[in-house]
Amino acid sequence: MDDDRLLVERTGDAARTHAERLPAEVLEALVAAGMALPAIDLFAVASGPGSFTGLRIGIACIQGLAFVQQKRVAPVSALLALAHAAAKDRPGGTRVGAWMDAHRRDVFSALYEVARDQSGPDAALIEIEPPTVASPAETLARWQGQRLPSAICGDGAVLYADILPATIEMVPPPALASLIARLALAAARAGATVSPAGVQPLYVRRPDAEVARDAAQTKS
């Protein structure tokens, strides 16, 4: 991105691991944009949720590039980016959700509301429920106690579209790179960036190793 102008956006090959794709794909995008690494003023990264290995590799890649260039980083929740896609052009007060496939028949989810004094593609979102992980049915049941969203975006919404009530629109997930870049620019304008070392992954789910360790300790 050059301010609000999109220069290059590419979707990576999901069949290849992050370790195989990074940092080469970032550098290829720079070449396609006709830029060199020192020209970057701000780095953005999807901070999660996601697989532990994928998050670690993606974040480490951006940390390394930003550290060498001595630039700031804007970590952005992928759930927040998806919620912005769901909220596009919806009026203030509208509730929107984000669902990402968390595997094990679970979804990573978060619930937001469009700020009542705003609307449009860049409207601010208010967090109603923070990122969590549960089954789609459990998530819907929990949200019904508040107010169901008008739309849910993400691959989890696509995967479990058959259980969504008719009142909820399923929004297919767009490419996230430009959404994350726009949110990163907003974070920078608000002074909400961090040093490369300050990036914290948003795992949501505890690592399997920790769960197994606690179970072993309980048995002993």
Q: Is 127 helix (H, G, I), strand (E, B) or coil?
A: strand
Q: Give the domain range for residue 129.
A: 79-171
Q: pTM (2 decimals)?
A: 0.90
Average pLDDT over residues 137-155: 95
pLDDT digits (tens, 9 = 90+) for 60-86: 999 999 999 999 999 999 999 999 999
Q: Is residue 11 part of a domain?
A: no
Kind and range of the H or E element at 76? Answer: strand 72-77
pLDDT digits (tens, 9 = 90+) for 165-177: 999 999 999 999 9
Question: CA separation (Å) from 52 to 16, 31, 102, 186, 207?
Answer: 16, 29, 11, 27, 8
83 and 160 belong to one structural domain: yes
Average pLDDT over residues 31-46: 96
What is the spatial distance between Cα 170 and Cα 212, in angstroms, rounded to a whole number? 35
102 and 166 belong to one structural domain: yes
Q: Could you give the number of structural domains in the chain?
A: 2
Between 121 and 156, where is the model more confident? Answer: 156
40 and 105 belong to one structural domain: no
Residue 29 has pLDDT above 60, yes or no: yes
